[in-house]
A and B are shown apart, each in its own frame.
Chain A
Amino acid sequence: MSNRQSWAQVIILAGTGLYFAANLLSGNITNYIAAKFIWLSWIAAGLLLALAAIRAIALLRGRHDDHEHEHAHEHSGGARAWIGLGIVALPVAFGLLVPSAPLDSRAIEGAIAGDLGSIGAAPSQRVGTDPLDRNALEWLRTFNLASDLSAFDGQAADVTGFVYRDPSLGDPARFLVARFVMSCCVADAQAIGLPVEWPGAAGLRADEWVRVRGAFALRDVDGEPVPVLVAHAGEEGVQPIERPAHPYLYP
């Protein structure tokens, strides 16, 4: 490995470390991983910067051949080594070139409105919170555990999420107030949503974050009676809001 490639390694290590640090400091890290794993990213940032520093010091002192013998096969082609370096630089490249964004309706394929089946509803996860504090996931769990959905007729609710136009909803006055649910990182993120009915729905932009206040009413969605959140008429029913600091829900 040439001297230039060794310095490229230092730059990539430091760059990746700084990329982790920038994500952590800006809060963008929650676009990628669940809050409970953020401390791991701090470790990664620290280790990457430490490794960069160690390598830089070794290079400056000319102690480069310290472990040369172990990687004899790496020296074969300069071009191949550069390609390898390029691959490791990809995360930073993507981080710099593509604006950071959480998963949104662009990552959802097709209809999710009737998709209650795969939402975990273990007894241990029974929701005990005040109905007005329940988020979309907790509502879906509540519905899954309930034996009689008509019990929720008239139940007031207050949920936030992004606007998703679910194809199965049909009616232009309906949309889904959707969230992604994630356990560890976007690899396992799954979209969920509550159907909302609101006269001004047609004017909402997809992926706009909104706070929806209203009351559930059993409506026919795609041939099945489903609790639909009927938002209060007027502006207080569906309010545009800033994207929350934690765009995903954690089960």
Chain B
Amino acid sequence: MEVADTLTVFSTRFLGIFIEAAPFLLLGTVTSGLIEAFISHDDLMRILPRHPVLATVAGGLMGFAFPVCECGVVPVTRRLYRKGLPLPVGIAFLLAAPVVNPIVIASTYAAFHARAIEIVYLRVAVALVAAVLIGLLFGLQSRADRLLREPGHVPAWRRSPSPPAPAALAVVHDPEPSLSGLPGRLVLAPAGAAPALAANARPSRMALIPGLRHALSLAAEEFFEMGRYLILGSLLAAGLRVVITQGQLEALATNPVNSVFVMQALAFLLSICSTADAFVALDFANTFTLGSILGFLTFGPMVDIKSTLMFLGVFRRRVVLYLILLPFLMTTLIAIWVNLNVRF
């Protein structure tokens, strides 16, 4: 192939991924802006259950409140962290919301209901369980503030009868955030300070018109911060498709274990939006095992090339590595188990 031909194909693939994903990213950033303007830290804390495990489960179900795919979930999660969302709750939300939300459930149902309704149930269940477990694992971290990329002055507050008011949060620039949790013990600590609350005295819930203006202005800003990761991810995904063909990968899928790895790799490389990936999986459903399809439908929405790059905008590098490895291990094990034990 000549260079010009390669460039044309690359351009079509790159723009295709970007054009498909950009609306979801924009809706995510606008949602994030609206949260900043209209939901206060107190509101958030009031909604969340006190118990850390229950709160993490609630995080995994928050996709019903914010139906976002993997492009939109990253800015929303980051915003919720700034509002003081505890780290494990945010991780559970980040990983589960792209699957456990009404839009994705509907599209999975549309694709699979006639063929294997079990896929719909299994997809939601596996994503939720994996996301909550991973969230809780992160909750064991003693210093949640070290996980986020923004230098966090994490105010250390334990599970107290009443969460401190935002004003108190702003004051507690605790020099020893290690208080927030002892190793091996779950403590609900806000993962990031809310700099917006700390830095100015603006009331945390804004009036309608200025609030909307503020929300859209933030959305624009965030479109640039998150958009560059999305675009780099789309470039990478398009580039890999030029180098590795789908056929080469499919040729490797020969048994219950291999097929799972191949579908995981495809999920990561193709970077298809979770609102549409069920239709893609349907095409593979003839050649691939049930477990591998399930792996594709759960791992792909949690982690793929473009969301990995977007994670880098929120978390530190080591955390991003865990955010790839843990969902990979968990969904892979479940998928292989399904292949070996479940018969339809």
**A residues lining the B interface (CB < 8 Å):** 9, 12-13, 16, 20, 23, 29, 31-34, 37, 40-41, 43-44, 47-48, 50-52, 54-55, 58, 66-67, 69-71, 73-74, 84-85, 87-88, 90-91, 94-95, 98-103, 106-107, 109-110, 115, 117-124, 181, 183-190, 251
Partner of B216, one of A50, A110, A123: A50
Whether A183 and B280, one on each chain, are in contact in the complex, defined by CB atoms closer than 8 angstroms, is yes
Whether A43 and B13, one on each chain, are in contact in the complex, defined by CB atoms closer than 8 angstroms, is no
Tell me which residues across on chain B come within 8 A of A187, comparing CB atoms: 13, 16-17, 20, 237, 241, 270-272
Give A118 to B251 CA distance when docked, in angstroms.
11
Least CB distance, A57 to chain B, in whole angstroms: 9
Least CB distance, A219 to chain B, in whole angstroms: 23
Whether B9 and A69, one on each chain, are in contact in the complex, defined by CB atoms closer than 8 angstroms, is no
Give A37 to B231 CA distance when docked, in angstroms.
19
Give A92 to B278 CA distance when docked, in angstroms.
29
Kindly supply a per-residue 1/0 record for chain B positions 57-73, scoring 1 wherever the CB is within 8 Å of any chain A CB and 0 otherwise: 00000000000000000
Give A101 to B214 CA distance when docked, in angstroms.
39
Least CB distance, A185 to chain B, in whole angstroms: 4
Q: Known contacts A88-B227, A186-B16, A190-B246: does B221 contact A67 (CB below 8 Å)?
A: yes
Give the number of A-B contacts (CB < 8 Å): 195
Least CB distance, A179 to chain B, in whole angstroms: 14
Least CB distance, A202 to chain B, in whole angstroms: 22
B261 at the A interface (CB under 8 A): no
Whether B114 and A84, one on each chain, are in contact in the complex, defined by CB atoms closer than 8 angstroms, is no
Whether B19 and A101, one on each chain, are in contact in the complex, defined by CB atoms closer than 8 angstroms, is no
Partner of A107, one of B9, B14, B114, B271: B9
Tell me which residues across on chain A come within 8 A of B18, comparing CB atoms: 91
Least CB distance, B220 to chain A, in whole angstroms: 4
Partner of B115, one of A115, A118, A124, A181: A124
Q: How many residues of B contact A (CB 8 A)?
A: 68
Tell me which residues across on chain A come within 8 A of B216, comparing CB atoms: 50-51, 54
Partner of A29, one of B7, B19, B247: B19
Scoring A58, A70, A71 by chain B CB atoms within 10 A of each residue's CB, the highest score goes to: A70
- Please choose the segment from B183-191, B282-290, B317-325 that sits at the chain A interface, where 4 or more of its residues have CB less than 8 A away: B282-290
Kindly supply a per-residue 1/0 record for chain B positions 201-233, scoring 1 wherever the CB is within 8 Å of any chain A CB and 0 otherwise: 000000000000110111111011101100110
Tell me which residues across on chain A come within 8 A of B282, comparing CB atoms: 120, 122, 183, 251
Give A224 to B2 CA distance when docked, in angstroms.
33
Identity of the chain B residue whose Cβ is nearest the Cβ of A186 in the assembled complex = B16
25 A-B pairs whose Cβ atoms sit less than 8 Å apart in the complex: A9-B224, A13-B223, A16-B22, A32-B15, A33-B20, A40-B23, A41-B23, A47-B219, A54-B213, A69-B195, A69-B196, A84-B228, A88-B228, A91-B14, A106-B1, A106-B9, A118-B283, A118-B284, A120-B286, A121-B286, A184-B276, A186-B13, A187-B17, A187-B272, A188-B280
Whether B7 and A98, one on each chain, are in contact in the complex, defined by CB atoms closer than 8 angstroms, is yes
